[in-house]
Amino acid sequence: MTSIADQVASPPIAGPADQPAKAARSAASAITLPAVGERELRLDLFRGLALWLIFIDHLPPSLLTWFTLRNYGFSDATEIFIFISGYTAAFVYGRALLESGFVVATARILRRAWQIYVAHVFLFTIFLAEISYVATSFENPLYSEEMGIMDFLKQPDVTIVQALLLRFRPVNMDVLPLYIVLMLSLPLILFLMRWRPDVTLGLSALLYAVTWEFDLYFTSYPNGFWAFNPLAWQLLFVFGAWCALGGARRMSHMLSSPITLWVCIAYLAFSFYVTLTWYVPQLSVLMPRVIEHWMYPIDKTDLDVLRFAHFLALAAVTVRFLPKSWAGLKSPWLRPLVLCGQHSLEIFCLGVFLAFAGHFILAEIGGGAALHALISLSGILIMCGVAWVISWYKHVADKSGAKKAANADLAGGG
């Protein structure tokens, strides 16, 4: 079976036909990129899976909740989404950096960050209207309090300004602001990656350590801090970029080692046992108190090292047993997941809207596990249907922009 690096990274990008020019170009850049060719469907597949899991986790607990990652280990779908976002962004805009230069690549990155920002503002407006309408129509202010918009109702003028500054966010709207900040930092990341990829990753790890040591964070309005601290989560984003720009190839021998495989499996088993103690407290008697004191709390806001290590173990095991050539990636059964992953920005925004709608229906109607499962499956079907419509529009109704749309899809949407 091929190694993770062989599966993820193909030969370096082809340079000009002139050999001296090609050699000079290689010497000037320390990063390498896969050759242009077939899409990496595994990235689309797992990004689509992450979107489904995020949607389910945003709903009240139901039967499907037990199938999400957070119940079986330290990390969850957020780690998958941020890592793949870093990987695909570096792949698309790293190629632009090598082919068109830093200025052009930066301009394209800023345009993409602006698109995400506009999507966030649009989602904020629709989400706010949705919550306000439900709270007013059903005379239930608890919806406004539960979704975190009470400050908006008290001071709408100040709150809107803070929302435009990404400092005020209702519940479930924390991922896109994190993504915007990480995209804004991408030009610097790519510039440093072109100089020394390994040093860049080391600097990212240093910033992560300094963030933990000195408790650095972004403040939010009216008080508190960001649910996902960009100063810590940048490590996962940069690691994804590092893998895309040749790091996966350099890790091939280590990741194909049986020792690495068994270490990852052992860590996944340990994290599963720890997670199990949260639901079956009787099992915690087998957990040494020293380990508990060292381990807890497992902080999601600052990307606890246990969460990061759990994601790495999951990724190493998954890619080892899921080769790029697996025929199932083109199966019609997995096509909905792939489509959702190819249009992640639109589907994520839709998922946030649907999550509150599902929350409202369950709160007003009640019902048992069957209704919970029906709401969850209905939301997933709607997400798949919208992803199919977007895909049809981009590849059939707008053929003239097919190549441009493909690159935008790889970076996370149109």
22-69 confidence digits (pLDDT tens)? 433 443 446 666 666 567 899 999 999 999 999 999 988 777 788 899
Q: Which residue has the higher pLDDT, 327 or 339?
A: 339
pLDDT confidence of residue 275: 94
Contacts of 405 (CB under 8 A, 6+ apart): 394, 395, 398, 414
Give me 209's structure tokens: 């350590």
Amino acid at 5: A
Residue 165 has pLDDT above 70, yes or no: yes
Question: In degrees rounded to 5, what are phi and psi of residue 322?
Answer: -125, 85
pLDDT confidence of residue 128: 87
pLDDT tens for 308-330 read 999 999 999 998 999 888 888 99
Q: Which residue has the higher pLDDT, 288 or 240?
A: 240
pLDDT tens for 265-276 read 999 999 999 999
In a domain, 48, yes or no: yes
Residue 121 has pLDDT above 60, yes or no: yes
pLDDT confidence of residue 10: 40
Average pLDDT for the chain? 86
Contacts of 334 (CB under 8 A, 6+ apart): 45, 328
pLDDT confidence of residue 17: 42
Query: Is the Cβ–Cβ distance between 255 and 4 less than 8 Å?
Result: yes
Query: Is the Cβ–Cβ distance between 59 and 358 less than 8 Å?
Result: yes
Q: At what angle do helices 335-342 and 369-392 cross, to 10 degrees?
A: 60
Q: Which residue has the higher pLDDT, 129 or 303?
A: 303
Expressed in percent and rounded to 5, the helix, strand and coil fractions of the chain are: 75, 0, 25
In a domain, 26, yes or no: no
Q: Which residue has the higher pLDDT, 45 or 129?
A: 45
pLDDT confidence of residue 354: 93
pLDDT confidence of residue 24: 39
Neighbours of 381 (CB within 10 A): 11
Residue 299 has pLDDT above 50, yes or no: yes
In a domain, 18, yes or no: no
Residue 223 has pLDDT above 80, yes or no: yes
In a domain, 123, yes or no: yes
Confidence of residue 180 (pLDDT cuts 50, 70, 90): very high
Query: Is the Cβ–Cβ distance between 150 and 87 less than 8 Å?
Result: no
Number of domains in the chain: 1
pLDDT tens for 388-412 read 999 998 877 666 555 555 565 566 5
Buried b (16+ CB within 10 A) or exposed e, 355-366: bbbbbbbbeeee
Alpha helices in 167-229 (DSSP H): 175-195, 197-214
Q: Among 18-22, 279-283, 306-310, 324-328, which stretch is predicted with the lowest mean pLDDT?
A: 18-22
Rounded Cα distance between 105 and 124, Å, is 29
For the full predicted model, state whether its pTM sits above 0.85: yes
pLDDT confidence of residue 3: 37
Q: Among residues of the chain, what percentage have pLDDT more than 70?
A: 86
Q: Which residue has the higher pLDDT, 115 or 359?
A: 115
Give the residue-averaged pLDDT of 345-369: 86
Rounded Cα distance between 248 and 242, Å, is 8
In a domain, 31, yes or no: no
Contacts of 93 (CB under 8 A, 6+ apart): 105, 108, 109, 112, 186, 190, 411
Determine the structural domain holding residue 261 and report its residue range.
4-9+36-410
Residue 372 has pLDDT above 80, yes or no: yes
DSSP 322: S
Give the residue-averaged pLDDT of 76-97: 95
Give me 128's structure tokens: 């706010």
Dihedral angle over CA of 297, 225, 50, 211, nearest 10: -60
Residue 348 has pLDDT above 90, yes or no: yes
